[in-house]
Amino acid sequence: MPIKTFRGLIEDDTQETIVLHTNDGKTGYRIVKFDLIPNEPGGLDGEHVVQIWKVSQTTNSNKIDLSDNTLLGAGYCSNDTSGDAYPTRQTILFDQEIFNQDIFVTHKIRNGSGSMNYYIELEQIKLDLNESTVATLKDIRNKKS
């Protein structure tokens, strides 16, 4: 199936929407790649948390809770001005769940400053009527909780 890519530069304590919904809901997506790159590697200290959500967030957090069923992916990237002694490190986790609605990317710095680049690859999946209904109902249920 085709791969769709999304990339952007996200500021601290912000959220971006990736528009994926369709009128019939018969196009699903699954994350196949999620990467982070500091805007200024070795330039600004920062411990960055970037997360991908199924629902819009009212606040951004630097806490990662993998038991939250609305979390699709999480990335942690530590950037240090002493790049030689403390090279940039990152940890990326993502779910293989299929979704058919918009997703939301958030960024929160635990300490430090700066922006973070993200890169997401989504596998596009054709859904039949039953799969589309299940994915849409799951997303509706998540938005009400």
Domains and CATH numbers, the chain: 3-144 (2.60.120)
Mean pLDDT of the chain: 86
pTM comes to 0.87
Cα 79 to its chain centre, rounded Å, is 19
Instruction: Report whether pLDDT(8) > 80.
Output: yes
pLDDT for residue 104 = 97
> What backbone torsions phi and psi does residue 7 show, to the nearest 5 degrees?
-145, 155
Query: Residue 144 — pLDDT band, cuts 50, 70, 90?
Result: low
What does the pLDDT look like over 56-72, one tens digit per residue? 999 999 899 999 999 99
Instruction: Report whether pLDDT(35) > 80.
Output: yes
